[in-house]
Structure 1
Amino acid sequence: MEANSTMQQQVNVYRASLLDFPAPTSNPSSDFRYIQDGLLVTRNSKIVDIGSYNNLISSYKSHTISDLRGKLIIPGLIDSHLHFPQTEMLASYGEQLLEWLNNYTFPTEAKFADDDYATKIASIFLHQLVSNGTTTGMVFSTVHKSAADALFNAASKLNMCLIAGKVCMDRHCPVELQDSPALAQQHSAELIESWHGKGRLAYALTPRFAPTSSEQQLAALGELAKQYPDVYIQTHLSENLNEIEWVRQLFPKHRSYLDVYDQYGLVRKGSVFGHCLHLQDEEWRRLKSAQATIAFCPSSNLFLGSGLFELEKARQHGINVSLASDVGAGTSFNMLRTMGDAYKVCQLKHNPLCPLEGLYMMTQGAACNLGLEHTIGNLNTGTDADFVVLDPAFNELSALRTQHLIEERTISAPQDVLFALSMLADERTIFQTYIAGNCVHQVNKELN
């Protein structure tokens, strides 16, 4: 009886409108699951049931039900490219990519040689993620091994699914931010052994971008990629025209920017390339054949004036695309607002972005690209209970905008609600964030 009582206490039942993509799809605008008046049931850290209120209520009458009617539950959001040490420099004025790195990024990242400082920012960074509904991030740390340790340690305390890596740079950056081919390989290997596969954590080999790594360093990281075939790889690709020309000068023997990474075994499934704004035809084809992923960073691309991502071309080539904030060149941790910027970019390219496609690229689609669709990215039974409760009426304006979309305390048009929030959202939109079944954020309430 005591064991059964304990299990009862571990069951949580939520009543709300529910929206997700239960399976991988190339057509998210039609292949979604929407339950207008639904129940989501979790036990311990897992989702154990999902369905309509009328169909399930008889099984859960004895449980306390969290009544969230009028709100929308979606899977926890996945941010596929962002920079933990750039948290404090978000919204720094002006410049384009290369100047911005020298004037803002490198001086900020140098501060992370101080372990206490790295620990402090790691806490703030993760709080910003969860308060904006992001439950999984693919994250760049700094060159300092201890900063990556601080980030992983903070994420492990939340039982968070986090992919991260120590940045590797051995040239064309300040001396205090340089490692070496041997040190990059050694520290990356030590971090892999310490954190990869520990709980819900995973490691990503992280050359910042080709110009800041010598061929020797790229080769050393390629050796690690071969030694650890299940680790991820993250870097930048073809973000800025001046950057591309610089790569051409630094690597004259290579056919393209992507070919630089490819020659060292860094292009494969599980590789995520940020930006990809100015690709050659052969690069599109190679990304597809390798099953690699593009991280579409619309806010950052607009902020730095880097260019407009060609989502339609990526669709035509059948390339994996995920959405990403790229904080701090991106201007918000909020992935709903990032989706709004993606819509604007697609409008400028005359290729509309359906809000359901946007949601897919930061939930199930992103999970599939990372090989994690069996654990995150949806509301399927058996998956980790990472989910977000959205409040469409979080302020006076949003309540006015969405009032006709909420009938009898249920949401009647989820696509319209999503689109409205992609333009209006801030952290108040995120009523609650759950990681592995635990509420780690509630609006206007601090949780330990």
Structure 2
Amino acid sequence: MADPILNHAARTPGDAHAPSRAPSRRAAYRARLLTFRVDPALDEHAAVYHEDGLLIVGDDGKVVAFGDYASLHVTLDANTPVHAMRDKLITPGFIDTHLHFPQTEMIASPASGLLPWLENWTFPAERTFEDAAHAADVAAFFIDELLACGTTTALVYCSVHRQSAEALFAEAHARDLRMIAGKVLMDRHCPEYLRDTAQSGYDDSRALIERWHGTGRQLYALTPRFAPTSTEAQLEACRTLARAYPDIFIQSHVAENHDEIRWVAELFPERRSYLDVYDHYELLRARAVYGHCIHLDDADRIRMAETQAIAAHCPTSNLFLGSGLFDFDAAARTGMPVTLATDVGGGTSFSMLQTMNEAHKVARMGGHHLSALRMFYLATAGAARALDLDDRIGTLAVGTEADFIVLDPAATPLMARRTARVESLEELLFAFALLGDDRAILATYANGRRVHARGMRQSALAHA
């Protein structure tokens, strides 16, 4: 491998290329308000809930104040507009920790399992992202879908083509969204038309890190697709990049499917487990997110807890592909960090509410009760904390970026009828999780600016 892979200095990320700001985003929102201090599984008082609350956003799109309307409204000046929506619920925007934007157009494609699904549907779809114009078109649609479902931050896999990552970052940057993404790395066991090399993958990843990590609200994720599609040389290059840029994210897949696990064991016979392949190359650390984590043993789970690596649970994908059931009790017992994710397009919905629906059922099949409070925590503050971003997103705390959503309990006739009878916060959230989808998202705000209104795509909203 050429010397450049081993000799360079990491830059310090900055915000020099941040998008232009609107003149002012100062506004107040009167509604029911919900955020979390800690994990509800650990503390029965984890939720911070105001039945009649006030959220105040400053000119810079940051949260200025959050609390009871009665105590905060007297602090408002005459120039701050107040949006009254007392029958609605405001929560932090959802954080989706694992999905694939090049799979947007092949979602819901039939297959007998993971590996045939990749070969017959995924790889051909991802080939089209060598066309930069196509990548840009799908990136705009993909982000529209996220925002329509209330997702304000996502950890995204692009295709192997550098231009696919450029397209996604450019679209997210133009809308002032905090996104985390990376170019997929694959230098073996994939079609030739999707194959990079250890050196080209390194060069492209490094260039994208330099261009986008810390530019505006964009963050980079080093993205080896999964161990079977990267040679030892490519994984070694990942180690070099991870050492050089200690604050970037890392994302890959692990222990999703039994056939995949057997394949990894054949390719890496010297490693104790599938997870141990990543550990060997120093890819288990804080800000490292591994999709699925279904078929791990406790030694693996403990190792993830020790390194602060994160398990992204993808219930709709695991059920669709028949991969297996995530073990919530084992994760809790070992302290393995867990988040929720859609895994589009193996996952069958962009909606984190529908993802909660299936996560609850997967947990029940394993004898675990996953409360609505904890599901909302895992999709907001819990994800932000796991990603080491809770000082910026995932809560409504003063000084954080005002990424939030407005949930409508009367979004459908059935939801209206059910939520009219709720007697607790848990019951209300459970109704959202089990009955809700994109229709329940009345509006989505990013950095204090409305970026989605129900029934309006982004192009229409720009003129609203």
TM-score, normalised via structure 2 length:
0.92
Offset of residue 10 of structure 1 = 3.9
2:278 is equivalent to residue 261 of structure 1: yes
Matched, 1:50 2:66: yes
Greater mean alpha carbon deviation, residues 51-60 or residues 215-224: 51-60
Q: Aligned to 1:351, which of 368, 376, 394?
A: 368
| Alignment pair present for 1:438 and 2:444 | no
Structure 2 equivalent of residue 104 of structure 1: 121
Query: What is the root-mean-square deviation in Å for CA atoms of aligned residues?
Result: 1.4
Of residues 32, 42, 63, the one that matches 1:17 is 32
Query: 1:173 is paired with a residue of what secondary structure?
Result: coil
Percent pairwise identity: 48
1:417 to 406, 420, 428: 428
* DSSP-derived class of the 2:373 partner: helix
Give the Cα–Cα distance (whole angstroms) in 1 for the partners of residues 165 and 25 of structure 2.
33
TM-aligned CA deviation for residue 22 of structure 1: 3.3
Deviates more, 1:261-270 or 1:7-16: 7-16
Contact 1:29 1:357 in 2 (8 A): no
Which whole-Å deviations, capped at 9, do the CAs of 1:181-240 have from their partners, x for residues lacking one? 001111000000000011111101000000100111101111110111111100000000
Contact kept in structure 1, 2:64 and 2:399, CA below 8 Å: yes
Which residue of structure 2 lines up, in the alignment, with residue 428 of structure 1?
439
* Mapped contact 2:54–2:66 kept (Cα < 8 A): yes
Equivalent in the alignment of 2:161: 144
Task: Say which is worse superposed, 183-192 or 438-447, in terms of deviation.
Answer: 438-447
Partner letter of residue 175 of structure 1?
E
For residue 233 of structure 1, give the secondary structure of its aligned residue in structure 2.
Answer: strand
Paired with 1:370 and 1:9, the residues of 2 have a C-alpha distance of 29
C-alpha distance 394-25 of structure 1, shift in aligned 2 (>3 A): closer
- Offset at residue 90 of structure 1 (A): 1.1
Partner Cα separation in structure 1 for residue 234 and residue 44 of structure 2: 43
In the TM superposition, 1:4-403 aligns within 5 A as: 10-23=25-38, 27=42, 29-44=44-59, 45-60=61-76, 62=78, 63-403=80-420
Given the superposition, is the C-alpha separation of residues 417 and 94 from structure 1 closer, same or farther in structure 2, using an over 3 Å criterion? Answer: farther
Counterpart secondary structure, 1:37: strand
Q: Which amino acid aligns with 2:405?
A: V
Query: Partner amino acid for 2:375?
Result: G
Partners of 1:312 and 1:367 in 2: CA distance: 22
Q: Secondary structure of 1:272's match?
A: strand
Give SS of 2:312's match.
strand
Change (3 A) 1:26 1:420: closer
Aligned 8 A contact 1:337 1:421 in 2: no
Of 9-18 and 131-140, the range deviating more from structure 2: 9-18
**Partner-residue secondary structure (3-state), 2:311:** strand
CA distance in 1, matches of 2:76, 2:108: 47
SS in 1 for 2:420: helix
Q: Is 2:149–2:441's contact at 8 Å kept on the other side of the alignment?
A: yes
Equivalent residues of 1:28, 1:357 under 8 A apart: no
Identify if the C-alpha distance between structure 1 residues 225 and 318 changes in structure 2 by more than 3 Å, giving closer, same or farther.
same
Cα distance in 1 for partners of 2:41, 2:202 equals: 38
d(CA) in 2 for partners of 1:61 and 1:36? 23
Q: Greater CA deviation, 253-262 or 7-16? A: 7-16
- Alignment-derived partner of residue 4 in structure 1: none
Q: Which runs of 5+ in 2 are unaligned?
A: 1-21
Contact 2:223 2:250 in 1 (8 A): yes
Q: Deviations over 1:24-82 (max 9, x none)?
A: 67526531100000000001210101111111122226233101111000001000000
Partner amino acid, structure 1, of 2:67: G
Which position in structure 2 is the counterpart of 1:409? none
Classify 1:248/1:276 alpha carbon distance in 2 versus 1 (closer, same or farther; 3 Å): same
Match of 1:357, as an amino acid?
A: R
